[in-house]
Amino acid sequence: MVRIYSSPKSSGPIFLLLDELDTLEDLHRFHVIKVDESMIEYIYASCFRVSIPCNHHLPIASGVEIAQVNGLASRTKDDFPKLSKLFLRAAKTFIHRTQPVSCAEVCYRSNPN
C-alpha cells in the first residue's frame, strides 16, 4: 500500500505517478508489498508471494520464501497442483543454491519470464 501526503498544489503529478505505477505493475504482473532494509515482499502474477529477507538491502538467500497466494487474489483454479508445488520447491532450491548478490537478481530468478 502506498501512502501519500501532499499539498493541493502537488496532488496532480502524484496521482499521475500512481497511475503509472499501477500500469507498470499490471504490465509486469509484479505488485510490490513491502520494501525496506530488512525485507522485500512482492506478489507475482496474483499467484505467488515472494519474501526476501535482507541485511541492509542485501538479500539473505537462505531465507527467501516463495508461496502461493490463497483467497481472492488467486481467482483461477490450479489444474496441476502437484506440479505447481514441485515448481515452487524447485524455485526455492535454485534461489538458495545460487546465493544471489542483489534483490534484483532474486526477483529475476524467481520469475518464470
Q: Which residues contact 111 (CB under 8 A, 6 or more apart)?
A: 30, 44
- pLDDT, position 85: 87
Residue (of 35, 33, 30) closest to 54 by Cα position? 35
- pLDDT, position 51: 93
Q: Domain limits of the chain?
A: 35-110
**Which neighbouring-strand residues pair with 66?**
50
Q: Which three cell numbers stand for residue 66?
A: 516463495
d(CA 107, CA 63): 14
pTM score, two decimals? 0.67
Digits of tens for pLDDT over the chain (113 positions)? Answer: 445 445 555 567 788 888 888 888 888 888 889 988 899 999 988 888 999 999 888 888 888 898 888 764 456 777 888 998 898 899 888 888 877 667 767 666 666 55
Q: Which residues of 9-26 are buried (b: 16+ CB within 10 A; e: fewer)?
A: eeeeeeeeeeeeeeeeee
